[in-house]
Structure 1
Amino acid sequence: MSRNENSSAASLADQLALDIQAVIAASFARGEISGQVPAVITLERPKNRDHGDYATSIALQLAKAAGKNPREIATILQAAITSIAGVVKVDIAGPGFINITLDRASQAELVRTILSAGSKYGRGSVLQGVRINLEFISANPTGPLHLGHTRWAAVGDALGRVLSAAGADVTREFYINDRGRQMDLFGQSVQAAAQGNPIPEDGYQGQYIGDLAKEVVAANPGITSSEEFREAAYQVQLAQQQQVLETFHTSFDVWFSERSLHESGAVEHGVDKLRSQGHVFEVDGAVWLRTTDFGDDKDRVIIKADGELTYFASDTAYYINKRERGFDICIYMLGADHHGYIQRLKATAACAGDNPEYNIDVLIGQLVKIMEGGQEVKLSKRAGTIITLEELVEKVGVDAARYTLIRYPVDTPMVMDIDVLRRNTNENPVYYVQYAHARIAAVLRNTAELGIKSDLASFDPSQLTHDRENELLGALSDFPRIVASAAEFREPHRVARYLEELAGVYHGFYADCRVLPLGDEAIAPIHSARAALCAATMQVLANGLDLLGVSAPERM
């Protein structure tokens, strides 16, 4: 199979697809097939490996334009695909599916690709040149981050890593809701706690308010007004949110203040821009945005008749601000109670003259339930309400919390069983994957002690002919495709599920293929080849775990 020298991290499937594309182009040039050369050749791994290593339905796609039967198209392509270096057999099945079998040595060259690319294996360029603003936590600086924020902290950070791995220029942004009545209530609550007065009935409760009051007074002995308490407590609470996110391996490039939109005139500027697009109108003294022009269920008020700005005014200004900062795509990750925001935000993008199917993407995360000892955990010792991010980490650790929150699609509710996550057993998914990495590290320590080399200079791909080896190579070749699809569909859970499957395939390989010589058995090239395959698998596990912000331990 030909090598793509410009992309050492390209997967075997990617290269094979390029080769098939070249075969089709040549067939078009000879006049054997008419139509248009497809921009993408989709290859799949057959569930039954007797059907080959890869399968494609490209003949069915070409048939209509060519005016030929799909099997006829497949027959035309069969000989040319067989001539691709590394291909040993091409079969035609059913209505025109093409099944391709590669020689084992060609497949095993993937080990060289992975070890050469190292931490870059799996990275691609499908989003090269695309600037993405990823906003994945929007919180009031009025208390600890709760479980809903925790899910977004894990998933959003992982999504940022996956998008970057696909070539995008990603800016991670935290939107600080630091304006409005809630901030005033927060200041009054801290003031009341500091002065020994009852906290307002609709104020903030919980032990953390008393702790904040003590810290604020200690740093500002002469403080008296609720405004001063509000601003001082705001800074302390925001710093605590930032610190706990850092310990959760989640960092942001921008901490964007809602206040700044209003103080900088960005809201008025946003209204002016929307007005210039022809979608702003006035009724009874109020200023409206005609979002119904673009599928919203009702038009939205931007400025009330009394001159007060609505929350929606901030939303529109914030979107326009992002686009004017040069971002091509704005991704919003919002909580379960924000489902109604999807259409209004997309309509806002359309009103601003943008493409709502490209320039804006809104993801909604569903709720998380925590179980411990067979009971749902609802109360926080510190906040008095739902459990906090900090408390979850204290219970299970950063790796288990992050991995578990990421491995489920965000649009489905999920249950975290604390008892399972504390167990060092295969039923604990993060342990299962990390153990595979640690197990390989132990194997490679043993091979090094025995003098078995796992470096590329000693690697002989023709040694890897066992079905288990072939299965493992197939799984490793899928990693770049998994990363690309996780970025395209905004679904980092695909990486977690892939890692679990890869760990299972490796354990099967390890059971059936001896890496270390048995007893007095002499060291042979097969041992070096298998050690290199182990090293490649360990690299892919490490790369995948890094995309999830989870550690890859070498000892457990």
Structure 2
Amino acid sequence: MTPANLADTVLSAARAVFETRGLDVALLPVTTTVERPRNPEHGDYASNLALQLGKKAGVAPRELAAALAEELGRRDGISAVEIAGPGFLNIRLDTASLGAIAGLVVETGSAYGRNTALAGEKVNLEFVSANPTGPIHLGHTRWAAVGDSLRRVLSAAGAEVTSEYYINDAGAQVERFARSLFAAANGEPAPEDGYVGDYITEIARTITDADPALIGQPAEVALPVFQERGYELMLAEIRESLERFGVYFDVWFSEQTLHNGGAVEHALDELRKQGHIFEEGGAIWLRTTDFTDDKDRVLIRSNGEKTYFAADAAYYINKRERGFDRCIYLLGADHHGYIGRLKAIAACAGDDPKKNIEILIGQLVNLVRAGQPVRLSKRAGNIITLDELVEAVGADAARYSLARSSTDSTLTLDIEEITKNSSDNPVFYVQYAHARICSLLRNAEEKKVSRGEKYDPALLSHERERNLLKTLGEFPGVVATAAELREPHRIAVYLEERVATDYHRFYDACQVLPKGDEPVSEFAQSRLWLAEATRTVLANGLDLLGVSAPERM
């Protein structure tokens, strides 16, 4: 019996009690939850439903708890129910009911943990979206890891998710990029506001190797070529870097198409219909202060030039017209000011800014080696790139380390720590637990100890077995909460602090396979099911983080 199954049982028992006592069943919640007590001696799970409903129903909470305890005592799988304090219910499951979790996990396989909490919701998830003027750097890399994990978690919770990369290919930064390439191709210093680094020289050389006649050409002739070809090469490099990191986007959306396809003009028409457009000083404005923005925003300047904000508005409206119920933006630490203005766009478009749009801000990443800052990149000048990070620590260690912490705080990664083959290294600790189980299963095969098609769940009665079973049963709830709160790091915390730790404790306390000439224990088969269930949860959890589950280490 999983926590979700038990919660349903508690709610069903409450309905039976209400009906028997003639209480108003409309007071019952649609769902309820159970939690594991901090002290295992208090039971396997606890419910505060009687406390929630007692006063509303006109019944003393402890009296309602007593009635619920009596009703629950008649339900299959529950061995005892005790009342604590003013009306808490401490529930104990019988051994077979709890042991059945192992079978459920194994039989569900790769689908275990998936749920329908967000079923029917169509989500656009935009992340990374680095300008195509340089390699993906460390800050972008954090969002690549977190964003892709969030995509996986939202999908596991039943949402239909489209991952999207917004290509900032319109505006001054692309022109500066072209001038930087032009200067490098002609052996000139980079423009004062241009881009520097060996990658500029490399791209310029690739362009001129394909078209040597560009060297020495006037700027007005060569710049458009450098801009178009440089953009293509840089974007291809960004895509390849991300894919080596295991991040694939469903949509690569060009900002330029908003301007070329009339999307900006269309957005202005839609906003004008909502009554939030006004003209002042020859410019066209959006009255975002109607919706808590700190100032109104210019859409089109008095000289007819469209602003970045106009593109932002057009992009949001475009997403909504593509049928997305919720648009989630993952932005860097320097984008706090975007929260108010983007939410104001949604409100001005007639949407609910609390429902249709979300803006998540990620903090910076620092890279150190043995506590000392890592020197800057030779290739990219003043940044550390995604490719360099992966080369230094590997994709698994990089992804796990970047995704395992809340994005609310600055993250410091120590290269030596995250590549260490010891239990002090979180990614190694979790992956080793999976590899250790795979080794156990191989040893079982060599000893001809079969897991078989069924097992006796009542044999899984050891305290360490019960703890591990309860932990495995929590996985679907952990996934649902991570999706609801947009916090994929909860998966990593659960794998580290609960699954891997509880498995290692179980393995150290409960012998699975015979040693030497010992006969096969009656517990072996059931414990192999438990081991396979743990392996499944570890593999499924690591997959949600985009990290491999190795069979050997």
TM over 0.5: yes
The counterpart of 1:461, out of the listed 457, 463, 477, is: 457
Deviations 1:151-181 (A, max 9, x none): 0000000000000000111000001111111
Distance (Å, rounded) in 1 between the aligned partners of 2:432 and 2:54:
48
Distance (Å, rounded) in 1 between the aligned partners of 2:147 and 2:210:
34
The counterpart of 1:152, out of the listed 143, 152, 175, is: 143
Cα displacement (A) at 1:260: 0.6
Q: Give yes or no for the alignment of 1:98 onto 2:80.
A: no
Aligned twin of 1:142: 133
Aligned twin of 2:417: 420
The counterpart of 2:7, out of the listed 8, 17, 20, is: 17
Q: Give yes or no for the alignment of 1:31 onto 2:27.
A: no
Which aligned pairs between 1:20-59 and structure 2 lie closer than 5 A? 20-34=10-24, 35-59=26-50
Aligned twin of 1:497: 493
* Local SS of the residue matching 1:139: coil
* Local SS of the residue matching 1:525: coil
Which aligned pairs between 1:498-513 and structure 2 lie closer than 5 A? 498-501=494-497, 502-513=499-510
Q: Give yes or no for the alignment of 1:307 onto 2:304.
A: yes
Which amino acid counterpart does residue 432 of structure 1 have in structure 2? Y
Q: Give yes or no for the alignment of 1:62 onto 2:59.
A: no
Aligned twin of 2:326: 329
Deviations 1:388-411 (A, max 9, x none): 111100110000000000000011
Distance (Å, rounded) in 1 between the aligned partners of 2:117 and 2:520:
43
Cα displacement (A) at 1:245: 0.4
Which amino acid counterpart does residue 263 of structure 1 have in structure 2? N
Aligned twin of 1:350: 347
Which amino acid counterpart does residue 330 of structure 2 have in structure 1? M
Aligned twin of 1:394: 391
Cα displacement (A) at 1:373: 3.4
Deviations 1:409-439 (A, max 9, x none): 0111010000111210111110000000000
Cα displacement (A) at 1:302: 1.0
TM-score (norm 2): 0.97
Q: Answer yes or no: is the 8 Å Cα contact 2:153–2:483 preserved in 1.
A: yes
Which amino acid counterpart does residue 217 of structure 1 have in structure 2? T
Equivalent pairs: percent with the same residue?
57
Query: Structure 1: where are the runs of 5+ without partners?
Result: 2-11
Cα displacement (A) at 1:311: 0.8
Distance (Å, rounded) in 1 between the aligned partners of 2:452 and 2:279:
72
Cα displacement (A) at 1:24: 1.6
* Local SS of the residue matching 1:138: coil
Bigger mean CA offset, 67-76 vs 117-126: 67-76
Which aligned pairs between 1:53-452 and structure 2 lie closer than 5 A? 53-223=44-214, 224=217, 225-452=222-449
Deviations 1:101-135 (A, max 9, x none): 00011111011111111000000011111100000
Distance (Å, rounded) in 1 between the aligned partners of 2:452 and 2:49:
38
Which amino acid counterpart does residue 414 of structure 1 have in structure 2? L
Cα displacement (A) at 1:30: 2.3
Q: Answer yes or no: is the 8 Å Cα contact 2:513–2:521 preserved in 1.
A: no
Which amino acid counterpart does residue 141 of structure 1 have in structure 2? P
CA spacing shift, 1:32–1:72, aligned 2, 3 Å: farther
Cα displacement (A) at 1:288: 1.2
Cα displacement (A) at 1:378: 4.6
Distance (Å, rounded) in 1 between the aligned partners of 2:69 and 2:362:
47
Cα displacement (A) at 1:17: 1.2
Cα displacement (A) at 1:32: 4.4
Bigger mean CA offset, 23-32 vs 301-310: 23-32
Distance (Å, rounded) in 2 between the aligned partners of 1:361 and 1:328:
11
Query: Structure 2: where are the runs of 5+ without partners?
Result: none
* Local SS of the residue matching 2:423: coil
Q: Answer yes or no: is the 8 Å Cα contact 2:127–2:331 preserved in 1.
A: yes
Cα displacement (A) at 1:377: 1.9
Q: Give yes or no for the alignment of 1:482 onto 2:473.
A: no
Deviations 1:180-202 (A, max 9, x none): 11111111111111122222121
* Local SS of the residue matching 2:27: coil
* Local SS of the residue matching 1:100: strand
Distance (Å, rounded) in 1 between the aligned partners of 2:453 and 2:380:
55
Distance (Å, rounded) in 2 between the aligned partners of 1:536 and 1:134:
32
Distance (Å, rounded) in 2 between the aligned partners of 1:328 and 1:390:
34
Q: Answer yes or no: is the 8 Å Cα contact 1:456–1:532 preserved in 2.
A: no
Q: Give yes or no for the alignment of 1:521 onto 2:535.
A: no
Q: Answer yes or no: is the 8 Å Cα contact 1:71–1:96 preserved in 2.
A: yes
Q: Answer yes or no: is the 8 Å Cα contact 1:134–1:332 preserved in 2.
A: yes
Which amino acid counterpart does residue 285 of structure 1 have in structure 2? G
Q: Answer yes or no: is the 8 Å Cα contact 1:378–1:385 preserved in 2.
A: no
Distance (Å, rounded) in 2 between the aligned partners of 1:83 and 1:294:
55
* Local SS of the residue matching 1:172: strand
Q: How many residues align?
A: 545
CA spacing shift, 1:167–1:455, aligned 2, 3 Å: farther
Cα displacement (A) at 1:521: 2.2
Q: Answer yes or no: is the 8 Å Cα contact 1:158–1:547 preserved in 2.
A: yes
Q: Answer yes or no: is the 8 Å Cα contact 1:378–1:386 preserved in 2.
A: no
CA spacing shift, 1:455–1:279, aligned 2, 3 Å: farther
Distance (Å, rounded) in 2 between the aligned partners of 1:270 and 1:14:
45
Which amino acid counterpart does residue 28 of structure 1 have in structure 2? F
Distance (Å, rounded) in 2 between the aligned partners of 1:455 and 1:113:
15
* Local SS of the residue matching 1:412: coil
Ranges of 4+ aligned residues in structure 1 off by more than 3 Å: 221-224
* Local SS of the residue matching 2:367: strand
The counterpart of 1:543, out of the listed 523, 540, 544, is: 540
Q: Answer yes or no: is the 8 Å Cα contact 2:335–2:361 preserved in 1.
A: yes
Cα displacement (A) at 1:26: 2.1
Distance (Å, rounded) in 2 between the aligned partners of 1:202 and 1:44:
57
Bigger mean CA offset, 533-542 vs 27-36: 27-36
Aligned twin of 1:7: none
* Local SS of the residue matching 2:128: strand
Distance (Å, rounded) in 2 between the aligned partners of 1:220 and 1:256:
28
Q: Answer yes or no: is the 8 Å Cα contact 2:72–2:78 preserved in 1.
A: yes
Which amino acid counterpart does residue 116 of structure 1 have in structure 2? E
Distance (Å, rounded) in 2 between the aligned partners of 1:531 and 1:220:
64
Deviations 1:65-100 (A, max 9, x none): 101211111112111111111000001101111111
Q: Answer yes or no: is the 8 Å Cα contact 2:132–2:235 preserved in 1.
A: yes
Root-mean-square deviation over aligned CA pairs: 1.1
Distance (Å, rounded) in 1 between the aligned partners of 2:452 and 2:250:
38
* Local SS of the residue matching 1:456: coil
TM-score (norm 1): 0.96
